[in-house]
Amino acid sequence: MPQTLVAEQLESDAGLKPYSCLPCRQRKVKCDRHTPCSNCVRAEKQCSFIPPVRGKRKRTKVPKEGLHAKLRRYEELLRSYGANIEPSEIGGDDSDFEAGSQVDVEMTEDTRHESRGEIASIAPKEKFVTKDGSSRYFDSAPWSDLGDESNHPEEGGIAESTDGSNVSESGLFVGTPEPTGLVLNAHSQIEDLASLHPSIQILPKLWDIYVDRADPLMKLLHLPTFWTSLTNALHHPQQISKSLRALIFAFYLATISSLDEDECQSLLGGPKSIAFARYKRAARQALIDAGFLHTSSSMTLQAYAIFIMAVRSSHRSVTLFVLSGVAVRLARKMGLHRDGTSLGLSPFETEMRRRLWWHIIYVDFRMSDVLGIKPSSDLFSGDTKRPINVADEDLSPDMVDPPPERNGITSLVICLIKCDIIEFIRKLSSPFTDDVRLEILTSSDITLAKKDSMIGQLEDLLERKYLRYCDPSNSLHYFASIIARSSICKMKLFAHNPRRFANSGIKIPQSERDLIFANAIKLLEYVNLVRGNPIFDKYKWQIGTHYLWNTILYVLIEARHRKTGPEVDRLWHLIGVVLSKYPQMFEETTGAVYTTLGKWTLEVWDDYLAATKVEGLPEPPTPEYIKAIRRCRRPSGGSSSKSKAPAESGPVPANSTGYSDIQSQGQDGDPLPEFDATASYDFSDLLSFEMDPNEWVRWDSAQLLP
């Protein structure tokens, strides 16, 4: 363009208005922006240039959450409450997914920011309050709407009481005629608990024993921090908190429970029975002083959980079931069923809460199975993750980020194996069911192929995570490997239990008999290994007999069918080795299960002798244990002797299935009515188990867990 034209254009544009005149805007025609404009000149109108006023921008609507995105969000909420559901496979467009994801992200971010405060809003109608090591969780509408500590229903707040009054606990647990569980006789209270602290010279020895024998079986304490608190408490016993005092005396009691007589005499200067009784009273008193029934302190709950483990050999299973139920309720009240990451807690506190919650789950889960009771739905209503595989040295109260998980075996290995078993049972159970127990393996609703497949997957998991790292020279590694392998054997016995063929008209296939026989033999070998190897003596205080008696029943049934052969010859030797570990089997007046198993053992042995004679084989010499059983199983007393309490762990009375019921009848202070304990065990012979399913019901004992 020529420069003269450009200059003229610039001069003409210089006189133009930056906006249209008012008449042109109203008529919605193009204005040439001259003064006056050509449109107004032609229309003979007054041309006026008034600056336009910009209208308010319309607010953009928030994108509506799509149906599929909403479905995904609801599925996540259900999973957070423990529901076992498959992810939705319904397709959807990208806009729906993005809208739903945006809502989820916003909710997650809001929760993360708010949960860092003292009062965290976890989800609608949920509230978590924490203060001074205590916590309180609300998930019901009336209380979760309250905004501060002064308004929620905890009497005196969530921190432990400082006035020393425990009126409710005193009225409930003191003044009964005899001590039972946590109940104290009015004359058995200890005035000065500080006098029972051991000397500073003995404490390191007790500590080493606890770390070696008790800690790997429960992993409730963070050893470095607890050792610091423990040593400080011995220097200033009058200045420790009630929660810490309860934890310390629970530690003493668990350590004494794991001692043998000589060790107790050497360390504490007296018999184990006296030391155990003294520190049991002290631990109960410390728990009551800490207000354990209304506590919101995780430290007090730790003490209570250790107390239950320490007294399990001196109380019936039903008592332990009730005590563990208290622990479940306290844990729910503290929000232990919600993972610490969703509550905004530190990595250290999150991990310690996980350990405590999963321990409580396992104890109550096991007691429910022992008694044949459906487990509490509280156990599986949360989202608490399993503990991570780290050593105590990897954790610190000051840490900001969680430590990396270790590969291989740590001191947490036994607890992690228990978690894997519980998770296995949960996956095998139907969705949305709270009937989570090993008995699901006997259900006809699940095909045998699926059971075997899932058991195989669990076996591979345990092998990959733990067993391949085991060092047989390390007692903990060796013991953990036995627990894992024996658990697989027990599950296979549950899945292939011969009782499913009773009264069905179907002959048990030989392949099934071989599988049952092989796994039952393995279990007896594991029992012999644990009971006979001195390196496992330190764990005997927590080893029960809850699965042994069913296993002996299985091998006796199979021995009767097989009659003779190398396998049967080895079996009779193995049975003798196992039974020799239980002297109650050779007492004239003994428990119902000992009496019945002794009777069956003699019957099958007589059949074995008859079969060898028929086949022309040389008669085998009678083992000493067969002679001993025959001497005490007189014809007149085979089915009429009454159960009495043996000195050590053994089988249970006929009316129970627990591993510790027989250990101290009457110790709970509420003895059962007199009855003939063997009456319900008066079976005709072992063949009745193949004909009548009710025989299995009568024999049904503890469900199997390590």
Helix (H), strand (E) at residue 120: strand 119-120
At 373-385, the pLDDT tens digits run: 777 776 777 889 9
User: Does 689 score more than 50 pLDDT?
Assistant: yes
pLDDT digits (tens, 9 = 90+) for 581-601: 888 888 877 777 788 888 889
- Specify the higher pLDDT residue, 153 or 334: 334
Contact 632, 588 (CB under 8 A): yes
Mean residue pLDDT across the chain:
75
Whether residue 82 is predicted with pLDDT greater than 70 in this model: the reply is: no
Mean pLDDT of 120-147: 55
**pLDDT tens across 638-681, in order?**
333 333 333 333 333 333 333 333 233 334 444 333 333 334 44
What's the rounded Cα separation, in Å, for the pair 556 and 550?
A: 10
DSSP 297: B
Task: Identify the CA nearest to 216 among candidates 527, 538, 544.
Answer: 538
Buried b (16+ CB within 10 A) or exposed e, 350-371: bbbbbbbbbbbbbbbbbbbbbb
pLDDT for 145 beyond 70? no
Domains belonging to the chain, first-starting first, are: 16-54 (4.10.240.10), 67-114 (no CATH), 164-305 (no CATH), 513-706 (no CATH)
- pLDDT confidence band for 343 (50 / 70 / 90): confident
Q: Is the pLDDT of residue 527 over 70?
A: yes
Residue 45 has pLDDT above 80, yes or no: yes
Residue 466 burial (C-beta neighbours within 10 Å; 0-12, 13-18, 19+): buried
pLDDT the model gives residue 119:
42
Residue 388: count of CB within 10 angstroms of its CB: 20
pLDDT range class, residue 690, cuts 50, 70, 90:
low
- At residue 562, the 3 state secondary structure works out as helix
Task: Give just the sign of the alpha carbon dihedral 99, 104, 107, 113.
Answer: negative
Q: What is the pLDDT of residues 440-458, one digit of tens each?
A: 777 777 888 988 999 999 9
Find the range with the poorest average confidence among 158-167, 235-244, 418-427: 158-167
HSE, side-chain direction, 13 A CA sphere, residue 414: 24
Q: Token pair for residue 593?
A: 């299960």
The amino acid occupying position 27 is: R
Q: Which of 46-55, 120-129, 172-181, 633-642 has the highest mean pLDDT?
A: 46-55
- pLDDT, greater one: 136 or 486: 486
Q: What is the pLDDT of residues 190-207, one digit of tens each?
A: 668 888 999 889 999 999
- Residue 56: what pLDDT? 55
Of the pLDDT bands very low, low, confident and very high (cuts 50, 70, 90), residue 349 is very high
Q: What are phi and psi of 144, to 5 degrees?
A: -70, -20
- pLDDT tens-digit series, residues 270-311: 999 999 999 999 999 999 999 998 888 999 999 999 999 999
Cα Rg of the chain, angstroms: 36
Angle (CA) 230 231 236, round 5°:
95
- Assign 162 a pLDDT band (cuts: 50, 70, 90): very low
Q: Whole-prediction pTM value?
A: 0.71
∠ CA 648-475-519, nearest 5°, is: 70
Residues 6+ apart with CB under 8 A from 643: 590, 591, 592, 653, 654, 662, 665, 677, 678
Per-residue pLDDT at 116 exceeds 50: no
DSSP letters spanning 335-387: TTTS-HHHHT--HHHHHHHHHHHHHHHHHHHHHHHHHT-PPPGGGGSS-PPPP
| The pLDDT of residue 641 | 38
> What is the distance between the alpha carbons of residues 353 and 402, in angstroms, rounded to a whole number?
14
Backbone φ and ψ of 131, nearest 5°:
-165, 130
Q: Is the pLDDT of residue 114 over 90?
A: no
pLDDT class of 55 with cuts at 50, 70, 90:
low
